[in-house]
Amino acid sequence: MHKQRQTVVVVGLGYIGLPTASILATRGHTVLGVDVNPSTVETINSGRIHIVEPDLDVLVRSAVNSGNLKAALAPQEGDSFIVAVPTPFFQSGPDQDKVPDLSYIDAATRSIAPFLREGNLVILESTSPVGTTERIADMVAQLRPDLVQVGGSGRGQLSVHLAHCPERVLPGHILRELVDNDRIIGGITKCAAERARDLYKSFCNGGMHLTDARTAEMAKLVENSSRDVNIAFANELSVICDKLSINVWELIELANRHPRVNILQPGPGVGGHCIAVDPWFIVAAAPEEARLIRTAREVNDAKPHWVLERVRAKAERFKEPVIGCLGLSFKANIDDLRESPALEITLELIRSGVGRVMACEPNIVPAKGDLPLYPLEEVLREADILLVLVDHEEFREVDRELLKEKVVIDTRGVWR
């Protein structure tokens, strides 16, 4: 069954939706990609891309030229629907805890509801709080009561299959990991999980692990929360080492020589749409119980402020300091700025007027926004303070002789 060609509607053409839509199209499926941004739709239909991801441009061009991939502003009827839209968070409550914003998922559900038919498959790929797939099912039942079948017990059951299959890919390696990584597939029913597995088998070589929707939702949150806790340990360690005049990079390297120790590398904070966001979904669901997860988030969220204080202290040495901020993305060698601590630090330095800020981000064209972007060579020449925020390859290759007269604050250990 999994080899049958389908008409697949992918809602959301960002870092997950566009690669998924393109791979499905190159595997013979007819794919309609849906996005609310007209320029995104136009760009994709011309065979180009609006995001940076290795080899994605070639894949999209091939998929569009084959006629199997088209982009539009609104959905159409299909066999399967994949929802891959953002799930950000917003502040809420007396403690200002962050809670998930499900408005994009709700909007996507409303957009596809008129086009659903009996037997369709709906897959939620967006990282979501536990219970979100059931929330979609409830919305579909309300919007399309004709799709609710009443059984012998008098209870209604949707004639549409719903499943959650969280994305688990690394930016910069998305195309390879979409194909090779194992997939967790959680269905509201066993049949829904099996239907989703059949679709993923058409392009995935990794293992397929079937479970229920709530467990699949929680699995993704746990994966990223585990990483967040481990990063928080490294970040807290870097602050302690700075106070005690210890080189944290050497310390971690030595400690990791123990066969059962694997301390991660510290940084200026934690960014990206996953690790910086997902733990809050667990905290919001169980605020009294998620004590360690909450503390790790607080440690990592505080790290940018600690970096800012170090820069301010160094800037006091200069009458009119020039601060070179190296890197704006949330991780190395990509252009993704979502929840980026590097971007947060750079913008705060600009707002506070500590000095003249010169930012360098090799993966972003200078025209993006109002950021003062400069070539690396110019930043290295003019800056009094060099603040390394992202470990891009370009920064690793810098001639160390150029750093001798500079104040260097290296949050990534690039120049250690």
Q: Given the structure tokens 């990609």, which residue do they identify?
A: 33
Q: Which of 165, 204, 274, 360 is catalytic?
A: 274
Q: How many residues does the chain have?
A: 416
Interhelix angle 291-315/278-285, nearest 10 degrees: 130
**Neighbouring C-beta atoms of residue 353, cutoff 10 Å:** 8
CA 54 from centroid of its chain's CA atoms: 16
Catalytic pick from 70, 98, 220, 314?
220
CB 8 within 8 A of CB 72: no
Q: Does residue 220 have an active-site annotation?
A: yes
Rounded to 5 degrees, what are φ and ψ at 141?
A: -65, -35
Q: Which two tokens stand for residue 8?
A: 């697949």
For 141, the token pair is: 């039942």
388: β partners: 326, 410
DSSP 89: E
DSSP of 154-177: S-EEESSEEEE------TTSHHHH
Tell me how far apart the alpha carbons of residues 320 and 384 are, in angstroms, rounded to a whole number. Answer: 9
* 184 within 8 A of 219, measured Cβ to Cβ: yes
Give the angle 388-393-396 at the CA atoms, nearest 5°: 55
DSSP 181-250: S-EEEEESSHHHHHHHHHHHTTT--S-EEEEEHHHHHHHHHHHHHHHHHHHHHHHHHHHHHHHTT--HHH
Cβ(7)–Cβ(33) below 8 Å: no
Sign of CA dihedral 130, 136, 138, 139: positive
Whether residue 274 lies in the annotated active site: yes
Find out whether 53 and 171 touch, Cβ atoms under 8 Å. yes
Rounded Cα–Cα distance for residues 347 and 388 (Å): 15
Q: Which residues are catalytic?
A: 220, 274
